[in-house]
Amino acid sequence: MTLPEKAKKVLDVLEKEYPDARIALNFKTPLELLIATILSAQCTDERINKTTPALFKRYKKAEGFAEADLKELEGYISSINFFRNKAKNIRACCKKIVDEFEGKIPDTLEGLVTLPGVGRKTANIILGSAFGKDAIAVDTHVKRVSNRIGLAASDNPDKIEQGLCKIIPRKRWVKVTILLILHGRNICIAKKPKCEICPVKRYCAYFRNIVNVKR
């Protein structure tokens, strides 16, 4: 079985397993998803979704975040890990959006990664889920699951992204990100993955190695 064939079979199974798959962060605009994604680093989506309603009610546009009093902004996100650094990044990010992008979130990878606090992973999440563009975002779940299954063989997120883009059709790039994240959170967890109940174990290199070891 070739890697593209394997990827197709895995995605077909996961789409049936998670028929309502969608990004877990709540947002209405590209700006809201950008802010929520910056906040989500080393924090649960559940916590972010509890925090952002009041935040987005107070600051509705990039100009608002750019001009925000730092202490006030920190107060809105104080329940989130590393809130002080994230507040600085959000304000600096939005200031650049106002100064260099006329207050609009850039809709290109090249533009997004110039923003403070925005790396390639965050940029690809914005492109895929806010702008509907074909993009694969590699977070810790995508990295772990793709390596375990055997769709990737690298610790480098950029190389994993490049590899997945080669074996997965463009029209499925956004969906594969969400599916692998969901699978990583529910079944293919970091410690003691639930291999016995995994719907894609027949295609998984990690599971095959476990079986061989037990033999």
Helix (H) or strand (E) holding 170, with range, is none
- Rounded distance between C-alpha atoms, residue 152 and residue 208, angstroms: 16
Angle at CA of residue 165, ends 49 and 158, nearest 5°? 70
- The residue among 112, 187, 182 whose CA lies nearest residue 142 is 182
**What residue ranges in 102-162 does DSSP mark as E strands?**
none
Active-site hit among 86, 95, 139, 143: 139
User: Residue 30 CB: number of other CB atoms within 10 A?
Assistant: 18
Torsion sign (Cα): 183, 187, 188, 189: positive
Angle at CA of residue 68, ends 63 and 69, nearest 5°? 165
Residue 73: alpha-carbon gap to chain centroid: 24
Name the DSSP letter for residue 49: H
Active site residue 139: yes
SS3 198: coil
- Rounded distance between C-alpha atoms, residue 123 and residue 45, angstroms: 17
Residue that is written with structure tokens 């798959």 in the block: 21
Active-site hit among 121, 143, 175, 201: 121
Instruction: Give the residue numbers annotated as catalytic, written as ranges.
Output: 121, 139
